[in-house]
């Protein structure tokens, strides 16, 4: 008896967002851990996840990195202690110095820029409004640069409408680097209308990588039936990508950490798919996702580019080849 030929797989047009995945700050932070391991051997301690991605963190653990939430989990000794890309409150390096720790700061330079802006505004006597998400490590780090009453957090448009500053004519604002462009613009517009003398950043605080990845999603989302964002559920920039796709008109927009997280029943009838990855998600996970879709669909893959990126940040000084000179 002749067996029936397998039915052909349905065709699926895949639009790959570009840029996607690792940004320069994430590359620098991961390289910092790997370089510290190469120079000093394990263990290398890292305060908080170096970047918000389980795959990356688990890979570094296998190489000898030890992740802790607080410095009191680090034993006495010469092992390096690295601060994550998100930045830390001033109290953390001060505590490390008091214990004579070999501390290496892998804070993204664009986050450090926000810290410095806030410090300058504070020195000028301005009350600072920080647009961001409570409990996010970057926000905790930025607020922790200054005394407790120096910074007021603005999380929503309603916060922007109702904030009552001490002196409406002596304000400045800064933002988290990984926010929704649209949400932030709405809050800034409300604040500017209420406080026209409010000082603004010299250059936008939302980083180039966040901006470019959201712009790419906005180009692709209206053209596809579904969008998959590869990223972690605690990654702010990844969450914002999923939201951006939804707002841009994509009927199905999901965030997954790995291909194994996909609920295939939701993707059974699609004919087009957008794919992107948060700034802390490695490209290998995008490839894994595409392989999973290729098992079920005949893929026609092309790239949609919103911007070209060539940003590079050097390693922290203690890890550079000339550090001992």
Active site amino acids = 138
Residues 6+ apart with CB under 8 A from 139: 130, 132, 133, 153, 176
Q: Is the bond preceding residue 43 a cis peptide, omega within 30 degrees? A: yes
Residue 265: CB atoms within 10 A of its CB come to 7
Q: For residue 193, what are the contacts with CB-CB under 8 A and spacing of at least 6?
A: none
- Report angle CA 41, 24, 238 to the nearest 5 degrees: 105
- Contact criterion met (CB below 8 Å) for 231 and 257: yes
Contact yes or no for 262/237 (Cβ under 8 A):
no
Cα distances from 229 to residues 16, 168, 177, 292, in angstroms, run 11, 40, 19, 14
Exposed e or buried b per residue across 165-204, where buried means at least 16 C-beta atoms within 10 angstroms of its C-beta: beeeebbbbbbbbbbbbebbeebbebbeeebeebbebeee
Q: How far apart are CA 225 and CA 214, in angstroms?
A: 18
Cα(161)–Cα(129) distance, rounded to whole angstroms? 13
Cα(94)–Cα(201) distance, rounded to whole angstroms? 27
Taking Cα atoms as reference points, which of 121, 59, 115 lies closest to residue 90?
115
Helix 24-40 crosses helix 54-63 at what angle (to 10 degrees)?
Answer: 10
């Amino acid at each position: 008896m002749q067996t029936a030929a397998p039915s052909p797989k349905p065709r699926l047009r895949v639009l790959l967002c570009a840029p996607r995945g690792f940004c320069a700050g994430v590359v620098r932070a991961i390289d910092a851990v790997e370089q510290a391991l190469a120079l000093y051997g394990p263990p290398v301690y890292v305060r908080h996840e170096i970047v918000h991605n389980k795959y990356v963190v688990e890979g570094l653990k296998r190489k000898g990195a030890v992740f802790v939430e607080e410095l009191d989990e680090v034993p006495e000794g010469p092992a390096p202690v690295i601060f994550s890309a998100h930045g830390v409150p001033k109290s953390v390096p001060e505590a490390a110095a008091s214990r004579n720790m070999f501390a290496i700061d892998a804070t993204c330079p664009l986050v450090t820029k926000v810290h410095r802006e806030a410090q300058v505004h504070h020195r000028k006597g301005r009350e600072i409004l920080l647009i961001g998400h409570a409990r996010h490590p970057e926000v905790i780090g930025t607020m922790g640069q200054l005394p407790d009453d120096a910074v007021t957090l603005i999380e929503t448009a309603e916060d922007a409408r109702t904030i009552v500053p001490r002196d409406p004519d002596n304000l400045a604002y800064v933002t988290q680097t990984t926010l929704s462009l649209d949400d932030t613009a709405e809050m800034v517009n409300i604040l500017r209308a209420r406080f026209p003398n409010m000082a603004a950043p010299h250059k936008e605080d939302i980083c180039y990588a966040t901006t470019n990845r959201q712009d790419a999603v906005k180009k692709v989302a209206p053209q596809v039936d579904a969008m998959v964002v590869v990223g972690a559920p605690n990654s702010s920039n990844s969450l914002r990508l999923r939201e951006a796709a939804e707002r841009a008109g994509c009927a199905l927009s999901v965030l997954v950490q790995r291909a194994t997280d996909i609920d295939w029943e939701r993707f059974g009838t699609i004919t087009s798919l957008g794919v992107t990855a948060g700034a802390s998600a490695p490209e290998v996970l995008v490839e894994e996702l595409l392989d999973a879709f290729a098992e079920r669909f005949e893929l026609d893959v092309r790239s949609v580019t919103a911007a070209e990126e060539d940003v590079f940040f050097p390693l922290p000084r203690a890890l550079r080849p000339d550090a001992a000179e």
